[in-house]
Amino acid sequence: MERKTVASGPACYAQLMHNFAEGCCQSPGRPQPHSGVPLSDKRERQQTIREIVAAHAVASQEELRRQLAGRGWDVTQSTLSRDLRELRLARIPDGQGRARYAFSDQTNGDYELARLERMLPELLVAVEGVQVLVVARTMKSGAQPVAEALDQLEWPDVAGTIAGDDTVLIICRSTEGRERVLRKLRTYIDR
């Protein structure tokens, strides 16, 4: 691909925009051609992320960024975070005190319930309620998978969840609903 040079000055911007419209220039941060195929759209980048996560135990966004760079993608942290959210990838504990990214969208309610049944006794540390809120404390890196599982279960008493690293805020529809959610979650802690 031939690159056009643009003179500086007032006409520079118009010429630069014209060149980009014609596809003559590469924008900074845009993936460069890889194996002769330009990696220019979001779907291809996200497919690359799927392939990396499926093939490797990726523990952090920085590690994933390095893997992507090795395949011709130079992405910002915010773009990568957005991709991970859209792909419904979450960090889950690997059972050896570390965490790795895993897919969370290939599930149905029954599978989610079974997954929650296995996961909560390992991840949940404490729960407490205030008004219509439940604060659930988890092991380090446990909040995202717990919140995702709760969202997928679509419990009628739960309006939604917000997850940090080790804390999930569960917003209930009523104080009575909060009590039901607390009872359910406490059964997992007592196991």
Asked, for residue 98, whether it belongs to a domain, the answer is no
Does the global pTM surpass 0.75? Answer: no
- CATH value at residue 61: 1.10.10
pLDDT exceeds 70 at position 3: no
**Among residues of the chain, what percentage have pLDDT more than 90?**
31
Over residues 5-51, the pLDDT tens digits come to 444 444 544 454 444 444 444 444 444 444 443 445 788 898 899 88
Regarding whether 19 and 81 lie in a shared domain, the answer is yes
pLDDT tops 80 at residue 136: yes
Q: The tokens of 25 are what?
A: 């220039």
Answer with the residue of higher pLDDT: 81 or 27. 81
Same domain, 76 and 117: no
Instruction: State the pLDDT at residue 28.
Output: 43
Question: How much of the chain, in percent, has pLDDT values that exceed 70?
Answer: 69
Q: pLDDT value at position 111?
A: 55
> Is the same domain home to 81 and 116?
no
Q: What is the pLDDT of residue 180?
A: 95
The span from the CA of 160 to the CA of 134, in Å, is 11
Only one residue has tokens 């014609």, namely 22
Residue 157 half-sphere exposure toward CB, CA atoms < 13 A: 16
Q: How confident is the model at residue 113 (pLDDT cuts 50, 70, 90)?
A: low
pLDDT at 141: 86
As given in the structure block, the two tokens for residue 129 are 């309620």
Give residue-wise pLDDT tens across range 147-191.
887 887 778 999 999 999 999 999 999 999 999 999 999 988 877
Cα separation, 90 vs 111, in Å, equals 17
Residue type, 173: R
Whether 129 and 177 map to the same domain: the answer is yes
Residue 55: inside a domain, yes or no? yes
Amino acid at 92: I
Are residues 125 and 173 located together in one domain of the fold?
Answer: yes
Q: Is residue 43 situated within a structural domain?
A: yes
Count how many domains the chain has: 2
